A = this chain, B = another copy of it.
Amino acid sequence: MDVKDYMQRVGRAARAASRAIARADTLQKNQALLAMADAVERDSEQLIAANMLDLEAARQNGLEEAFIDRLTLSDKTIHGMAEGLRQIAALPDPVGEMDDFTYRPSGIQLGKMRVPLGVIGIIYEARPNVTADAAGLCLKSGNATILRGGSEAFHSNQAIARCVHEGLRLAGLPAEAVQVIETTDRAAVGELITMPEYVDVIVPRGGKGLIARISQDARVPVIKHLDGNCHVYVDDTANPDKAVAIVVNAKTQRYAPCNTMETLLVHEASAEFMLPKLAAPLWEKGVELRGCERTRIILGDQVVPAAEDDWYAEYSAPILAVKVVKDLDEAIQHINDYGSHHTDAIVSEDYSRTRRFLREVDSASVMVNASTRFADGFEYGLGAEIGISTDKIHARGPVGLHGLTSQKWVVLGDGQVRS
């Protein structure tokens, strides 16, 4: 197979299908989503059989347990995929939403209409459930999509694709609206990200290295997620109970997610009081603390000395960097300098300081007295999310259906001309 030629055909077909899908009405799209969900559940045995092929190969290749875990399809994960598709069907359709209509002095009536982006290319790791999620989100938002999952999940993804296509067919929508790349050749990715004539935006998911490489080489806009180096700043006006609850939750509720806290900042005026209160439950859960000098003076030698690199680290592990700061200004400066502009929280009862934190911290999500772990599509009510953007243009933070659309201008007139 000539990969370039194949990808050109895929791109052309996606562009053509994107028009049909943009026009499709809400009922038709929901029918397709519900039919996909039914097909996935009905065919669970075939899906698990296809997944077995991938799992065997992965074990033979000695891939690690966490990888195998993400690759595995079970009755439970298949049911989860189906439920995900049904939840997307239940979400309001963003396409065609009209807003902000006003009359201009010229007599024209001006407003905005929400419209699909067109064709979305998604590059993701070997997690078969993403195939169903991504197909569903793109379909509901009126976009055609080209999916390129990790090659280790090839058989699983092709089996899911058959269910997706059945759903599209039953709803009278073109199968090319969702195309799952039928080759494991890595060159397909290179083609996908350099076809601006057929692809409007790329969403890469996976490791930081992969995303950075795709962003570097893409000739198409990329909605990307790089690091999640999130902070909680405990002000000296913090309610201690809230501070402990939020810090423990933000660090230990789960270690892997990108919205988990990686650095704790504590105001020096209350550090001697707060740090022991915060450290005890963290240590109890086996979290290693890496602290600045002041932290070590207060908490003792059990705290590993923090190096400059620790302030940049996304540990994704039971490790936490801890720094005593002299005031709100130093906290904001530290977050803006070392953070990844993902999600940062202040714990404080001071009105003016919380206002300043919200305004001045340059992150996709800024929070007062809440755990950073809330920063995701489900908690924000977006339904599912296609990713969490750390970019500044288009969409920041969790990207759901709205993030897969944009707005065009609508002008309604009665024969107006410009003078």
Contact = CB atoms under 8 A, between A and B. Distances in A.
A259 to B, nearest CB: 9
A174 to B, nearest CB: 16
A253 B104 contact: no
Given A380-B104, A391-B221, A418 B374 contact: yes
A96 interface: yes
Interface stretch (A34-42, A63-71, A292-300, A392-400): A392-400
Contact of A406 (B246, B375, B394, B415): B394
Nearest to A391: B221
Contacts of A115: 362
A369 interface: yes
A380 B110 contact: yes
Interface string A36-58: 00000000000000000000000
B253 A417 contact: yes
A399 to B, nearest CB: 11
B381 A416 contact: no
B249 A417 contact: yes
B242 A369 contact: no
A102 B363 CA distance: 20
B369 A397 contact: no
B371 A414 contact: no
Give the number of copies in the complex: 2
Contact of A394 (B246, B363, B394): B394
A363 B115 CA distance: 10
Interface string A198-228: 0011000000000000001001010100000
A286 interface: no
A13 interface: no
Given A393-B201, A408-B396, A379 B239 contact: no
A interface, by DSSP: helix, strand, loop or mixed?
mixed
A349 to B, nearest CB: 10
B375 A414 contact: no
A118 B394 CA distance: 14
Contact of A393 (B117, B367, B415, B418): B117
A365 interface: yes
Interface string A95-136: 010000010101010100101011000000000000000000
A363 B408 contact: yes
Contact of A373 (B102, B371, B417): B417
A368 interface: yes
B106 A379 contact: yes
A352 to B, nearest CB: 14
Contacts of A245: 415, 417
Contacts of A106: 374, 379
A411 B104 contact: no
B370 A393 contact: no
20 contacts: A104-B380, A108-B374, A118-B362, A118-B392, A221-B221, A221-B393, A223-B393, A246-B417, A248-B417, A249-B417, A250-B417, A365-B410, A366-B408, A367-B411, A367-B412, A369-B412, A370-B413, A374-B413, A396-B407, A396-B409
Given A117-B392, A370-B416, A395-B406, 17 more contacts: A96-B359, A113-B359, A118-B362, A118-B392, A241-B415, A358-B410, A364-B409, A365-B409, A365-B410, A365-B411, A367-B411, A367-B413, A368-B412, A371-B416, A371-B417, A373-B418, A396-B406
